[in-house]
Amino acid sequence: MYLSPRQSEIIQLAKDNGRVLVDDLASHFQVTPQTIRKDLNDLCDQRLLSRIHGGALFPSGIENLEYEARRKIAADEKDAIGQAAARIIPDNASLFVNIGTTTEAVGKALLDHKGLMVITNNINVANRMRVYPDMEVVIAGGVVRGSDGGIVGEAAVDFIRQFKVDYAVIGASAIDHDGALLDFDFREVKVAQAIIANARHVILVSDQTKFERTAPVRIAHLSQMDTFITDHCDIPSIRKICAESDVQLVETKRPAP
């Protein structure tokens, strides 16, 4: 669904502040409270915000966002992260690509590569890459999650463990300031852990909104990654972990000093 410029700015304000209030937004945009309520209702219907009395919250906690809604959040940032990851991965490499909208952006950026063997539990990645003759696409078996086309469960874990690849591209639903990488579905986490264990170089891809969210299931720790690609990281503890653990931190968009 199309988002108006005002609705996009409302989402950004909610990300920055955790919540937005009807009266404050009406004053900020110089429109009526009724207009703002309609915007908030539309955004909540799309699961981009969660309604509260007098305003709305940016979603976090144990409830994940709908997949199409997640695609819209930080879309340009995800594309830039995808391009940065693609520059690290050479032609003729083998790699895992995990579930997620940011990992899908990496898959899109890899389409010009030659001779890749791509093993994935992400139907969307497999479907996009399968038509390219220079790609060998191998898809995991298991339970297909209807919400996002992710393949999860023990069968997928067993399948992943058959391989040892050059690179793995993984995402996370949330990144705690202590470096914990978190997700919502323990079945997905098991697959991600198998991917990490069976790759020589692990690339974490995540935009900075993941620092503002929480999720209940631990995937791994940032120190276990080889490369972390994000749009910008201004969390001192995260930067310290990368420096002390020899994790290459790649930022695609640094703010002007």
Give the residue with greater pLDDT, 3 vs 114.
114
In the chain, what are the domains? 5-59 (1.10.10.10), 70-251 (3.40.50.1360)
- What distance in Å separates the CA atoms of residue 224 and residue 215, rounded to the nearest whole number? 19
Which of 81, 128, 129 is CA-nearest to residue 105? Answer: 81
130: its two tokens: 């399968």
Say how many C-beta atoms besides its own lie within 10 A of residue 215's C-beta.
24
Q: What pLDDT score was predicted for residue 203?
A: 98
- Each residue's pLDDT tens digit, 56-101: 887 654 344 556 666 666 788 999 999 999 999 999 999 999 998 9
- Each residue's pLDDT tens digit, 182-222: 998 898 999 999 999 999 999 999 998 889 888 899 999 99
Q: What is the pTM of this model?
A: 0.75
Q: Which helix (H) or strand (E) holds 21?
A: strand 19-21
Q: Output the CA torsion 26→27→32→34 (10° steps).
A: 30
Phi, psi at residue 79, to the nearest 5°? Answer: -65, -40
Q: What pLDDT score was predicted for residue 46?
A: 84
